[in-house]
Chains A and B, each alone.
Chain A
Amino acid sequence: MPLITTQSAKGYGWGARVAAGATNSFESIATATVTSGGSGGNVVFSSIPQTYKHLRIHILSGGTSGFNNGINMFINSDFTNANYWCNAMGTNGTSAYDDGPTQLPYIGIFGGNNGNLSSYICDVLNYSTTNRKKITRTMGGYIDPSGGYLYNYSMAPITSTNAITSIAFQGGGVIDFREDCRIALYGIKG
């Protein structure tokens, strides 16, 4: 376990301020915020503009039960079994594991529970091209006092080269997204 340094941070290392807003190559497309009472099931980003090179998604999610609640991610409303390949490396904090490739009908990641949100950063690369299969990469996880999971995921829909126009998130199992979940979609221009 790494040691923690004890140097004081006070009064040192203030960054020099630089001009803001010098680039507009990273733009917010849409944000879904779950309101009081939960999401009622799904979060869907549709009609995604095709004017970016890549997409990035910031995910804060949790369910309404005390267990870790999975999140299933679907692209272009494709629910076909084995259309997504999963390669994962992760840990429960005690040991590491390597998994895959596993064929699934969705991209599956662990969500948080009713006390601990999960946080993920997900990149969807070359989403608007039509000459190649799409790749996503996702890193994140959740921690609770008794456990949790960290995922370092790479996976791809394997059967379609269609441009990605919609991305949906569905709470796995019987849960929906609890209040204060947030999923933000960004576009990155190349």
Chain B
Amino acid sequence: MGVTYTNVSAPTFEPIATYTVPSDTANAVTFSSIPATYTDLFISGTTRANRNSSGTMDFAITVNGNGSNYSYMGLTFGNNSTPGAYRGTGASSIPGGTSGKPDLFSPFNAFILNYASATKKYINWWCGNSNEQGRRVIGSWSNTATVTSVELYGEQGWASGSTFTLFGIKAA
């Protein structure tokens, strides 16, 4: 019984890959062949879904191209309305939100904890529509496989100029 403490002082936050959508597309953005040499992953960017409509658009995350065994819980707030909530288990993805093409680009960032370990994976996600609604989302993927790819789905794809950057974080 006990706790093992490991100490180190070294650079631990490293960019792995970055991508800017060159033109409107109906496809997802995928980071693949992710090295398993980090402890956690961090993804950030600014996005607009490729749908010519205002309001909060679909934005979903999956890993390893897998469409099952996700659980999630989301908090919605802003838009001069009462905060809301949603949750799901046994889902095909973890759903968040972004803006559509008429609205501002919306920032997001997501942590994927324990992605390289043989345990359940955990996701902490900030997202939403800059013009309308913020969201906080937690999720998990009940699978012990190492995460080697992350798929980011926008509603009807992604608008030109959407950016995505993947970082690796090393714990001591």
Interface on A for B, CB 8 Å cutoff? 1-5, 7-10, 12-40, 43, 49, 58, 60, 89-96, 98, 116-117, 119-121, 139-143, 145, 148-150, 152, 177, 180, 182, 184, 186
Contacts and interface: CB of A to CB of B under 8 A. Distances in A.
Contacts, number: 246
B92 A20 contact: no
Interface in B1-47: 1-19, 21, 25-32, 39-40
Contacts of B96: 2
B164 interface: yes
Contact of B122 (A10, A35, A37, A119): A119
A153 B114 CA distance: 22
A60 B138 contact: no
Contact of A32 (B4, B59, B84, B123): B4
B124 A119 contact: yes
A12 B28 contact: yes
Describe B's contact surface by its main secondary structure.
strand
Interface of B: 1-19, 21, 25-32, 39-40, 56, 58-60, 62, 65, 71-77, 82-89, 92-93, 95-97, 111, 113-114, 119-120, 122-124, 126, 136-140, 149, 151-157, 164-166, 168-172
A39 B88 CA distance: 31
A15 B31 contact: yes
Contacts of A120: 124
